[in-house]
């Protein structure tokens, strides 16, 4: 039988809340445990232990499910459900004692995300959505801002950790910045997409994300009325994620596509 979306959401919510509480309690005095793609790509002890805690909770409730997590990789399952987990999205903010980080949990059924929860503990915010059911922050319905012309758009973005990738992202940004109201680099893609869903920015784009960064928050943004995708009608991919109200999505897409914003060889 197809699992019940509301049930999947409540498990995602429980696990995100618990992970968020444990991570928030451990934030003071946290240090770097390891690095990944570059010396700036850090992992804290809390990234690992919060992911373990979330995996345990999911497996206890639903033993056969697959789990993809940022730190622990892909665990195969037996059924149709796969959980997509980012224990701490915005690890650099977390490390510096800042508030812009989130615990993100999405439930995918046969390859489609049907429920997502993003906890932002420093703000006491919990964003949720189920496919077709609207988007919520702390149980209040939220809506993305209506489209504005690109020149009036507040646009969120983010950068990868490798220097070559960053040089390319700086090139793209050099062309985008003069054409928009302003740019925000919050430091957590999940929070950025939830802000967009909440009408607190007009658009968002980023190259180099992973599914755990956008899994839950892309559904939340979509359910709040935004279009979320890649270039030329593609779904979100690690090459590029764009999100905005539909008309603005097209305008931003048409600026990013010729710049090669989805490749590491941007047109300057
Ligand atoms: C981070 C993002 C951030 C992005 C980084 C990175 P992490 O996730 O959410 O916005 O710019 O490339 O992916 O590493 O903190 O989980």
CATH code: domain of residue 89: 3.30.540.10
CA of residue 261 relative to chain centroid, distance: 18
Query: Is 188 a domain residue?
Result: yes
Ligand 1 atom closest to residue 187's alpha carbon, by position in its atom list: 10
pLDDT of residue 256: 97
Structural contact between residues 187 and 100, judged by C-beta atoms closer than 8 angstroms: yes
Query: Is 265 a domain residue?
Result: no
Of 165, 209, 175, 177, the C-alpha closest to 191 is 209
pLDDT of residue 266: 67
DSSP 90: -
192 marked ligand binding residue:
no
Please check whether residues 157 and 199 belong to one and the same domain.
Answer: yes
Q: Which two tokens stand for residue 5?
A: 């979306």
Using CB distances shorter than 6 Å, the residues near ligand 1 are: 70, 86, 89-91, 158-160, 187-189, 206, 208-209, 213
Looking up tokens 């999405």, which residue turns up?
106
Query: Is 209 a domain residue?
Result: yes
Q: Order of strands across the sheet with 81-89?
A: 73-75, 66-69, 81-89, 102-109, 112-120, 125-130, 135-137, 140-142
CA–centroid distance, 241 to ligand 1, in Å, is 13
Please check whether residues 195 and 118 belong to one and the same domain.
Answer: no
Structural contact between residues 186 and 195, judged by C-beta atoms closer than 8 angstroms: yes
Cβ burial of 140 (10 Å; 0-12, 13-18, 19+) is exposed
Cβ burial of 72 (10 Å; 0-12, 13-18, 19+) is middle
pLDDT of residue 138: 98
Angle at which helices 246-259 and 163-176 cross, to 10°: 120
Question: Which ipTM value was assigned to this complex?
Answer: 0.93
CA–centroid distance, 90 to ligand 1, in Å, is 5
Q: Which residue range(s) make up the domain with 90?
A: 5-142
The domain total for the chain is 2
* Three-state SS at 88: strand
**Residue with CA closest to ligand 1 atom 3:** 188
Cβ burial of 267 (10 Å; 0-12, 13-18, 19+) is exposed
pLDDT of residue 46: 87
Q: What are phi and psi of 117, to 5 degrees?
A: -135, 135
How many other C-beta atoms can be found within 10 angstroms of the C-beta atom of residue 2? 9
Residue 247 sits in a domain whose CATH number is 3.40.190.80
86 marked ligand binding residue:
yes
Residue stretches of the chain with pLDDT short of 50: none
How many whole angstroms separate alpha carbon 23 and alpha carbon 44? 10
pLDDT of residue 192: 98
pLDDT of residue 33: 82
CA–centroid distance, 2 to ligand 1, in Å, is 32
Ligand 1 atom closest to residue 208's alpha carbon, by position in its atom list: 12
pLDDT of residue 268: 57
pLDDT of residue 31: 81
pLDDT of residue 1: 64
CA–centroid distance, 3 to ligand 1, in Å, is 30
pLDDT of residue 3: 84
């Amino acid at each position: 039988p197809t699992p019940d979306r509301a049930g999947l959401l409540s498990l995602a919510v429980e696990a995100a809340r618990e992970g968020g509480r444990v991570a928030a309690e451990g934030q003071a005095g946290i240090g770097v445990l390891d690095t990944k793609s570059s010396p700036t790509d850090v992992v804290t002890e809390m990234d690992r232990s919060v992911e373990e805690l979330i995996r345990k909770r999911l497996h206890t409730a639903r033993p056969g499910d697959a789990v993809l997590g940022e730190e622990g990789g892909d665990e195969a399952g037996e059924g149709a459900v796969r959980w997509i987990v980012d224990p701490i999205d915005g690890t650099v903010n977390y490390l510096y004692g800042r508030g812009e980080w989130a615990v993100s949990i999405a439930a995918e059924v046969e390859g489609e995300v049907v429920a997502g929860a993003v906890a932002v503990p420093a703000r006491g915010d919990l964003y949720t959505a189920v496919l077709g059911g609207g988007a919520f922050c702390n149980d209040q319905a939220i809506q993305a801002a209506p489209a504005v012309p690109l020149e009036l758009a507040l646009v969120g973005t983010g950068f990868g950790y490798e220097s070559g990738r960053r040089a390319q992202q700086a090139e793209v940004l050099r062309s985008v910045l003069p054409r928009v109201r302003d740019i925000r680099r919050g430091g957590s893609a999940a929070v950025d997409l939830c802000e967009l869903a909440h009408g607190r920015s007009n658009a968002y784009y980023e190259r180099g994300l992973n599914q755990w960064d956008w899994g839950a928050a892309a559904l939340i943004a979509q359910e709040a009325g935004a279009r979320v995708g890649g270039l030329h009608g593609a779904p979100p991919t690690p090459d590029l994620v764009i999100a905005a109200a539909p008309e603005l999505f097209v305008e931003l897409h048409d600026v990013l596509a010729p710049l090669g914003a989805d490749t590491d060889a941007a047109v300057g």
